[in-house]
Amino acid sequence: MLELRNVSYEVEDNKTQKEILKNISISFDERFIAITGPNGGGKSTLAKMIAGIIKPTSGQILLDGEDITDLSITERAGRGISYAFQQPVRFKGITVKELIKLAAGKEITTTDACKYLSEVGLCARDYINREVNASLSGGELKRIEIAMIIARGTKISVFDEPEAGIDLWSFNSLIKVFESMHEKIQGNIIIISHQERILNIADKVIVLADGSIRSVGTRDEILPELLGTVGSCKQLTDKL
C-alpha cells in the first residue's frame, strides 16, 4: 500500500511561492485508482512525486509502512514503483528490445519481449529491433512505454494519461492490460486519466483540482458528480 501524508509541493514563480500540491493525504490500496481533474490541477506532479522525480516540500510518502520520502528514483524503482511517462522519452541507438530488457531488469528472450509487445497491440516482429528514436510515432512510443511497465511487473504502477495517442488500439485492450497486470501481480495500479471509460473501471476515483483533493470515492459516487448532472447521467455512464 502506498500512502501520502500531508504532502505539499511549492515552487517559486515570479518570486512568489506557488503551491502545486496542498496538504494531500491519501492512500492507494485498491486494485485500480484513477486520478482525474482539470489540467494544471497537480496530477502529473503527484505521479512524479510517487516515482521520486520530485520531492515534496513537506509531508511523507510511505510504501507498505516504510517512509520512502527521501529515497531516490532508483531506490523507489527497486522497492517496486513503476511510472509510465505521459510523454515517453526517445533514445538514439537503444532498441525496443534493449529498453524492455532494462525494464525487466534481466536478460530476456526475444519471445519474452514479443509477448510484452503483443499485449500492447504491437506486432513484435516489426518493432523488436527498432531504435526508440524519432522514427517511432507518439502512439507507438506510448505503447512501448506501457509494455515496459508490464515487463517490470511491480506492485505499484503509475500511468500518466496512458490513453493518449492510442487511437487505433481500443480502450478495451488497454483495460485488459490493466486487468491482466493486476491478475499477475495483485498490486495497485494508479491511472491518471480524463477518459470516462477508464474512470469507469476504477475502484477509487480521486479528483484533484487546484492542488487539492476536491473529492474521493467509488466510481459510483464520483462519476455522476463529475458529469455534473446527478441522476440523468446514469444511463450515459452505463453506455460507456
Residues making contact with another protein (CB under 8 A): 51, 53, 72-74, 77-78, 81-83, 85, 88-89, 91-95, 98, 102-103, 105, 148, 152
- In whole angstroms, the minimum distance from the beta carbon of 48 to another protein comes to 9
Grid coordinates representing 205?
476515483
Give 56 or 88: the residue with its C-beta nearer to another protein: 88
Residue 114 CB, nearest approach to another protein (Å):
19
Please state the closest distance from residue 26 (CB atom) to another protein, in A.
Answer: 21
In terms of DSSP H, where are the helices of 68-218?
A: 73-79, 96-104, 110-119, 124-127, 138-152, 171-185, 196-199
Q: Which is nearer to another protein, 70 or 221 (CB)?
A: 70
Written as nine digits, the cell of 7 is 504532502
Q: Please give the span between the terminal C-alpha atoms of the chain, in angstroms, as a whole number.
A: 30
Q: Furthest-apart CA pair in the chain: how many Å?
A: 54
CB nearer another protein, residue 153 or residue 224:
153
CB of 118 to another protein, least distance (A): 21
Q: Which residues contact 13 (CB under 8 A, 6 or more apart)?
A: none
The nearer residue to another protein, 83 or 178, going by C-beta atoms, is 83
- For 106, the 3-state DSSP assignment is coil
d(CA 80, CA 74) in angstroms, rounded, equals: 10
Q: Which residue, 152 or 204, has its beta carbon nearer to another protein?
A: 152
Q: How far is the CB of 53 from another protein (least distance, A)?
A: 6
